[in-house]
C-alpha cells in the first residue's frame, strides 16, 4: 500500500502580515492612525478620545487594532458637530459634491489592495471576497456619480445628517458605499464602526474621504451607550441600520416614536425550496457558492425546504458538493510566490461566535436533529499550530427541532438545515418560517408552478432555480415582514430615502402607516 504524500507546510504569504498592513496605514493616512491605534473623526478633525479595547484577528487570534469607544457625551457632541457640517454641505453645489466624491473614489482605488488586506485581517474575508467588497463600493458609487442628476430632480437634502449603524460583514460595499451616496445627495454622514471588526479599514476609507472635504463623522462605542445620540438625537435626519432583528426592533421603536426617516435592514431566514425539480447538475454547481464567506451575509441561504419524494436525489447532489468546500487561513500559501488561496470561506467573525454556533449545533442534535454532514478542521488550509478557534467547518442538519434557534433564525455561519415537506402548503409554511425574508429561491421545473407559488413566499426577492442577491445600482432592494422597516433602497430609491421630495410623498418601504413596493 502506497504511503500518502505529506501535507504541505504552509507559510504566511510574504507582504501580507498585519504589521506590514498597519505600517501602510500609518504612511497612507498618518492623520488618522497612531502606532497604538486609530483615532475618531468628528467635528472635522481626528480626535484622540475614547477608551480603546483590545481586539484580535479572527484569522489566528493575533492582536490587531481595536476601536476607540466613545461615551454618550462625546457621541452627542459629535452629532451636534455633524449637524453644523450638514447645514453647510447641503448648500454645496452638486458639481462640487460630485467632484469631491469622485476624488474620494480615485483615492480608494489607489489604496484598493490595502483596504482589502485590512478586511482579510479584521473580518476574515478570503482575498477574493475582500477585493470584491472594495470593488463593489467603488464601482457602485461611480454609477451614482454618473447618473445622480435625475435622481435628485425636485428633491433636497434632509434637515439633518444621516446616521449609519451597520454590521461588520460588508464595511465597504454596504457602509462606505451608502455613506458616499448619502453625501453625494447633499447630506453630512455619521457612521458607527461595527463592534466586531473593520475599524482600520473604515478609518482609512474615511480618512481618504475627509481629505477631499466629505463631511464624515466616524465614531466607535457600544450600541447601548451611543444609541441615544445616533438614533434618538433630534439633530439626526435619517437612521440607516443593518443588523439583527433584536437590535433592529429597538431602533425601529425609537424612530417610529420620533417620526424619523429610517432604513432598517434586518435579518430573516432566507430559504431555498425544492419542488418537482430534476435539474440537479445546476444545483450542484450553485451549492458551494452559497457558502461564500461562511454564509455570514444577509442574503445567505441557510435553509433548504425539500419535497420528501426528492430527498434522495437532493442528497446525491448536495453532499458531494458540500464535501468539496475549502476553508482555512486566507493568507496561507505553500511557496512565497504562490497566489493567495481560493477559499470558500475563512473564520467566523470571532471565536465567541464560533462557540455559540457549535453549541447550537450540539443542542439541536441532542434534541433530535439528524447530522447529515459535518466537516472537519483537519481538512482545512491552515498554518502549523495556528489558533483555529474562530473556524467552523460546514455542517448540515436534517429537521432541526422547533426549540432550536437553528429552526427559526438565521445562523450567520456555515450551517445548513433541511426540512422535508409533502404538500405545497407545507412547502410555503416552511419557507415562510421567519415571518419575512430578504431573498428566497424556488427550484421547480414547471414555470406555471413557480408562477403560482412564488407570490406566496414572503421574501422581497424570489428567484427561480438560482440564488437572488442584494443587487446593485438600479435594482430595488428591501425585505418583507420583520426583515425590513422603513424605506427600500437600490438605484434611485437609495437617493430618495435620504432626501426630501414632494410634501405628500410616500416612499416605497415598510413604514408604520403604509407599505409600498413601487
Q: Residue 325 and residue 275: Cα distance in Å, rounded?
A: 25
Distance between CA 500 and CA 498 in Å, rounded?
A: 7
Task: Assess contact for 19 and 62: CB atoms under 8 A.
Answer: no
CB-CB neighbours of 323 under 10 Å: 12
Cβ(431)–Cβ(318) below 8 Å: no
User: 267: closest CA among 243, 250, 290?
Assistant: 243
pLDDT for residue 303 is more than 90? yes
Mean pLDDT of the chain: 93
Sign for the pseudo-dihedral over CA of 509, 515, 516, 517: positive
Residue written as cell 475614547? Answer: 50
Residue 159's pLDDT is 95
The C-alpha atoms of residue 236 and residue 228 are separated, in whole angstroms, by 11
User: Please, how many CA atoms are within 13 Å of residue 391, restricted to the half-sphere of its CB?
Assistant: 25
pLDDT higher at 351 or 6: 351
For residue 416, what is its C-alpha cell? 445548513
- One-character DSSP codes across 322-367: HHT--BB-TTEESSTTSPPP--SB---S-HHHHHHHHHHHHHHHHT
Q: Give me the pLDDT at residue 1, please.
A: 44
Beta 484-487 vs 261-266: how paired, if at all? antiparallel
Residues 460, 238 contacting (CB under 8 angstroms): no
pLDDT higher than threshold 50 for residue 3: no
| β 33-34/37-38 pair status | antiparallel
In the predicted model, is pLDDT for residue 6 greater than 60? no
Q: What percent of the chain has pLDDT over 90?
A: 81
Give the pLDDT score at 472.
64
Residue 470 — very low, low, confident or very high, per pLDDT cuts 50/70/90? confident
Reported confidence tier of residue 76, pLDDT bands at 50, 70, 90: very high
pTM summary value: 0.94
Q: Is the pLDDT of residue 5 over 60?
A: no
User: Please, how many CA atoms are within 13 Å of residue 319, restricted to the half-sphere of its CB?
Assistant: 12
Amino acid at each position: 500500500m502506497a504511503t500518502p504524500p505529506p501535507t504541505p507546510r504552509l507559510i504566511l504569504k510574504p507582504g501580507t502580515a498585519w504589521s506590514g498592513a498597519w505600517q501602510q496605514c500609518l504612511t497612507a493616512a498618518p492623520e488618522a492612525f497612531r502606532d497604538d491605534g486609530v483615532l475618531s473623526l468628528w467635528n472635522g478633525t481626528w480626535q484622540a478620545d475614547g477608551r480603546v479595547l483590545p481586539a484580535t484577528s479572527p484569522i489566528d487570534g493575533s492582536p490587531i487594532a481595536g476601536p476607540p469607544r466613545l461615551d454618550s457625551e462625546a457621541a452627542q457632541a459629535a452629532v451636534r458637530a455633524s449637524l453644523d457640517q450638514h447645514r453647510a454641505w447641503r448648500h454645496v453645489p452638486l458639481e462640487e459634491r460630485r467632484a469631491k466624491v469622485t476624488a474620494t473614489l480615485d483615492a480608494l482605488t489607489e489604496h484598493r489592495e490595502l483596504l482589502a488586506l485590512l478586511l482579510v485581517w479584521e473580518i476574515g474575508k478570503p482575498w477574493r471576497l475582500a477585493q470584491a467588497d472594495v470593488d463593489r463600493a467603488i464601482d457602485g458609487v461611480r454609477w451614482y456619480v454618473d447618473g445622480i442628476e435625475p435622481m435628485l430632480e425636485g428633491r433636497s437634502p434632509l434637515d439633518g445628517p444621516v446616521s449609519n449603524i451597520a454590521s461588520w460583514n460588508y464595511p465597504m460595499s454596504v457602509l462606505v458605499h451608502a455613506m458616499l451616496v448619502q453625501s453625494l445627495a447633499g447630506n453630512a454622514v455619521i457612521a458607527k464602526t461595527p463592534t466586531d471588526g473593520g475599524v482600520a479599514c473604515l478609518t482609512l476609507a474615511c480618512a481618504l474621504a475627509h481629505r477631499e472635504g466629505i463631511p464624515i463623522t466616524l465614531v466607535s462605542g457600544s450600541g447601548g451607550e451611543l444609541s441615544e445620540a445616533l438614533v434618538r438625537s433630534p439633530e439626526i435626519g435619517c437612521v440607516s441600520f443593518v443588523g439583527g432583528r433584536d437590535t433592529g426592533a429597538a431602533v425601529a421603536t425609537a424612530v417610529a416614536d420620533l417620526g424619523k426617516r429610517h432604513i432598517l435592514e434586518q435579518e430573516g431566514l432566507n430559504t431555498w425550496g425544492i419542488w418537482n425539480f430534476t435539474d440537479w447538475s445546476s444545483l450542484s454547481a450553485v451549492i458551494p457558492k452559497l457558502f461564500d464567506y461562511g454564509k455570514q451575509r444577509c442574503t445567505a441561504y441557510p435553509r433548504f425546504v425539500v419535497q420528501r419524494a426528492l430527498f434522495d436525489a437532493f442528497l446525491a447532489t448536495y453532499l458531494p458538493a458540500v464535501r468539496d468546500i475549502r476553508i482555512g487561513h486566507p493568507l496561507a500559501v505553500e511557496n512565497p510566490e504562490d497566489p493567495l488561496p481560493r477559499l470558500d470561506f475563512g473564520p467566523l467573525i470571532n471565536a465567541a461566535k464560533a462557540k455559540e454556533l457549535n453549541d447550537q449545533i450540539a443542542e439541536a442534535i441532542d434534541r433530535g436533529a439528524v447530522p447529515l454532514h459535518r466537516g472537519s478542521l483537519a481538512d482545512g488550509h491552515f498554518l502549523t499550530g495556528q489558533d483555529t478557534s474562530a473556524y467552523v467547518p460546514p455542517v448540515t442538519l436534517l429537521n432541526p427541532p422547533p426549540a432550536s434557534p437553528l429552526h427559526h433564525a438565521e445562523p450567520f455561519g456555515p450551517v445548513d438545515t433541511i426540512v422535508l415537506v409533502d404538500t405545497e402548503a407545507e412547502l410555503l409554511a416552511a419557507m415562510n418560517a421567519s415571518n419575512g425574508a430578504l431573498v428566497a429561491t424556488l427550484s421547480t421545473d414547471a414555470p406555471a408552478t413557480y408562477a403560482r407559488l412564488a407570490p406566496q413566499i414572503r421574501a422581497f426577492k424570489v428567484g427561480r432555480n438560482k440564488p437572488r442577491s442584494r443587487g446593485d445600482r438600479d435594482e430595488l432592494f428591501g425585505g418583507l415582514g420583520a426583515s425590513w422597516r422603513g424605506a427600500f433602497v437600490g438605484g434611485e430609491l437609495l437617493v430618495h430615502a435620504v432626501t426630501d421630495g414632494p410634501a405628500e410623498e410616500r416612499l416605497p418601504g415598510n413604514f408604520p402607516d403604509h407599505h409600498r413596493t413601487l
